[in-house]
A = this chain, B = another copy of it.
């Protein structure tokens, strides 16, 4: 118990403080927590990151693999991820040209946590589903 070597404190405390600080500015200094949640919360980022975690892939390969995504949203998503330094974009000047996307170390480190969350989701699925049914029914 109480194994607070260093950073432990209360993680939740730390996060709340972080959120509060940015809220005080009227939300103009973006909170990093909300920021990453915004990204991972959008419809496609996580799936793109997940796909890339198996190795580099090309644009159209991703487009085919990720069922339901439009060309536009893949472009937008990849650009945002590249901007944040979560993926890198490499252009091969062949004919026809090809573009390859790769996860950066930073992106890999993010995936770890997302996987934890996703794992929770899968395990909690049955219970949540039951809760909803009970709520809607009663």
Contacts and interface: CB of A to CB of B under 8 A. Distances in A.
A95 B68 CA distance: 52
Q: What is the count of identical protomers in the complex?
A: 2
A110 B115 contact: no
* Interface range for A: 35 or more
Main SS at interface, chain A: helix
B40 A38 contact: no
Given A111-B12, A122-B14, A122-B32, A128 B40 contact: no
Interface of A: 11-12, 14-16, 18-20, 23-24, 26-27, 32-38, 40-43, 46-47, 50-51, 53-54, 66-68, 82-85, 106, 109-111, 113-122, 124-125, 127-128, 130-132, 135-136
